[in-house]
A and B are shown apart, each in its own frame.
Chain A
């Protein structure tokens, strides 16, 4: 099973090397990959029908409980078959749709890795594995939406989609960690047995929020739905595959998968009903405002996802059954409609539904596919769509308390969806062929074959629902935690209230199709409301976010060294100063201090004079000389207080620094009066406070006891172990010899740097440029 999942990734890696051979006629061979996988998964139909659940576990990070755990039950099988089956048709279709495209190999690579990720997602039993594959689908979707990477709109849509679904992925991870915290496992099958404990936990609410966050973003539920219409910038095969048949259903899959674990509580059910219900109605109504075929399909897809969420929320056996059937119904008709749209776009170069009509005369098989799909979408017998719609109505009708509201919602949705299906599947093919399309050609078999096959399956399953009943539907209902033994699918349910509602739906919807014509006016009308759309709000938020962070960054990272230093020092002064005011005791034990002699007073005075001379002199040479005085005074202090090694080092280093300074000084500029009086006072105050704080700090530390343990260790072992009598030297060259070695390396690097900087000569070109610049400056000064 792991191999099956990895096949997609392996294939796309394989394409990296041999991709260029795949761009031509060989490209059709790519479709063998999903076909092979489809055949592989069909072999599981029989065992799953018998109620078997196939588990595979591969250890990944056992210490964290993270395994590559896979589980194949009814739900996973249904999705796997859809992914590979529709995948096969889409792969085949693509080879004709993007024939001769420069980056066809790349496209197949993305598609194949998406397929692998999606299979991993629906088969994963470990939540971390699920999360990884979940994010992989988002990433491959990003590349596919942005496939036309020269188009800015396409890139923007890809970013939006990645942003929204990526955030959802983080929700999933958070949910996984939280559930793991309570159950101690990442395995979903094990969580099933702990459902009671999870539901009773005080963090149940949070878990539900996280899982909903993941599912709603992925499955484009309101208010996160807007990335999906944007994702239609992708080539049509992608829209077919990712954004209607498989990936967007991942959210629904997650909800179904977790229904037995988290479901059954009011918050779970009512939230799903509310969000799903609102989304399905909102998007269904939106379809009448669209004139772009793909726009219509995008909104009707969101609506269908809303229906699935809604049905999952109902939580009854009937609803699960309806959901299972509707997944198949939707995958079949929506994929067909997308593929048909792709053909129309490819042949006529327009997707504007206002300009399309009468194409039946040119591409009859495509027309048949489109019309069959539209009928299935409308739920007209004898298609599987009819079965699905009847089940949906029935489950809403039997939901005691809210039946009437739910019925109104679902019937209205279905009416609008019927309209949308008719506009997308029937309108382009009937009526009079416009002149502009008279020269349109019939597409090749690879293009019209897949949609026709899918549409025919829709009819076949409708006429003979028993084909899928026990093999696909029942195991799904079982997997969702309901008893599936008494389920029986049938086309004819008898003359009852549900049937009457169906008739009303079909009647009103058809009437709408004839009365409302898609027009620019309607589209512009809804566009006026864009300012309150979630998409727009998010965009505004993004803009504010970017400008605030720009301001923040520019405020602190303004490129002026002294501002950085000022801020650091100011922060330190405030923080340390605050603690000092509260904590300092100012007690000094004068007896413990060493006595002051005349030498020391003199040295100190010289030192202080040197420091202030360095700071306030106007001459650079004098400043450097005073600097030397400061160094030598410190050297003297070292001598007084038993540090001969330090004194020697300080002496030589100080001399060297002064010499170096003087050597390069004649090349350095004269001091300029760069700052005004006010700045200097301000800096002076800041520095004085800082100096005071350091002094106080030093005095405070002096009043604390000191431990000389380390020093005593070195003193005791210096001669005995290292055979040296100067302890400081022994520490440096023996005990901490490695440190000294590294120090020497640092010095050598600095020396190399100094040498390099001294010897570096400017290139002739640069030198001229700098000369020009200084010349200009001089001219300006004049």
Chain B
């Protein structure tokens, strides 16, 4: 399964970059989201995956008695998911805004700060 996951991480990264290279702003955002998902999955994978052993201490004990999944990558990814949501929502609204103002979806037409160019 690790090989499959590594493959998927690669696909997410590759497609993410491909989407970011498009000129459409909507695709740019989709690319960022794909890339973000790929990064999360990569951290998850590299922290080693464990089946059926969530890092939650069983009800009656004070420490783990059996094997458990590493909680550190999970904490990192949780943070990453939330932060990338902040980024995504801001980007989506920004794109919408930029579109109402400059009436284009083409990034190439937005590469100058001057209004008349």
Contact = CB atoms under 8 A, between A and B. Distances in A.
Contacts of A560: 107-108, 111
B2 A695 contact: no
Given A593-B1, A612-B15, A691-B11, A727 B55 contact: yes
A528 interface: no
B51 A642 contact: yes
A672 B23 CA distance: 9
Given A565-B20, A770-B103, A608 B52 contact: no
A190 interface: no
Interface residues of A, number: 102
A608 B74 contact: no
Interface majority SS (helix, strand, loop, mixed), chain B: helix
A773 interface: yes
Given A641-B50, A645-B78, A746-B86, A692 B10 contact: yes
B15 A604 contact: no
Nearest to A747: B86
Q: Is the interface of A mostly helix, strand, loop or mixed?
A: helix
Given A698-B10, A702-B46, A714-B72, A687 B85 contact: no
B69 A643 contact: yes
Contact of B83 (A615, A646, A732, A746): A746
A646 B81 contact: yes
Contacts of A604: 4, 8
Among B5, B44, B71, the one with the most A-chain Cβ atoms within 10 Å of its Cβ is B71
Interface string B1-39: 111111111111111011111111111101001100110
A40 interface: no
Contacts of B28: 561
B18 A611 contact: no
A615 B88 CA distance: 17
Contacts of A702: 2, 6, 45-46, 48
Contacts of A695: 6-7, 9-10
A668 B55 contact: no
Contacts of A630: 34, 37
Interface string A674-693: 11000000011011101111
Given A671-B26, A695-B6, A698-B42, A726 B21 contact: no
B65 to A, nearest CB: 11
Interface stretch (A143-151, A260-268, A410-418, A752-760): A752-760
A399 interface: no
B81 A650 contact: yes
B71 to A, nearest CB: 4
A26 interface: no
A770 B107 contact: no
Contacts of A701: 46
A752 to B, nearest CB: 10
Contacts of A561: 20, 28, 107, 111
B51 A777 contact: no
B33 A657 contact: yes
Contacts of A660: 88-89, 92-93
B54 A739 contact: no
Contacts of A559: 111-112
Given A671-B26, A672-B106, A750 B89 contact: yes
A714 B40 CA distance: 21
A698 B79 CA distance: 21
B27 to A, nearest CB: 8
B61 to A, nearest CB: 8
A562 B50 CA distance: 38
Contacts of A643: 44, 54, 69, 74, 77
A41 B44 CA distance: 76
Contacts of B108: 560, 674
Contacts of B95: 664, 668
Interface stretch (A160-168, A461-469, A703-711): A703-711
A561 B6 CA distance: 28
Given A649-B78, A762-B101, A615 B19 contact: yes
A569 B17 contact: yes
A731 B112 contact: no
Contact of A747 (B63, B82, B104): B82
A780 interface: no
Contacts of B71: 711, 714-715, 727-728, 731
Interface in A490-534: none
7 contacts: A593-B1, A642-B53, A642-B69, A643-B77, A669-B104, A706-B46, A731-B71
Interface of A: 558-562, 565-566, 569, 588, 593-596, 600, 604, 607-608, 611-612, 614-615, 620, 623-624, 627, 630-631, 634, 637-638, 640-646, 649-650, 653, 656-657, 660-661, 664, 667-669, 671-672, 674-675, 683-684, 686-688, 690-695, 698-699, 701-702, 706, 708, 710-711, 714-716, 718-720, 725-728, 731-732, 736, 739-740, 743, 746-747, 750-751, 753-754, 757-758, 760, 762, 766, 770, 773-774, 777
Given A668-B96, A674-B23, A706-B48, 11 more contacts: A560-B107, A615-B18, A627-B30, A627-B34, A668-B99, A686-B21, A691-B11, A702-B2, A727-B68, A743-B82, A754-B89
Which 10 residue pairs across A and B have the least CB separation, nearest first? A691-B14, A695-B10, A559-B111, A750-B86, A687-B18, A642-B69, A691-B10, A727-B71, A711-B70, A669-B105
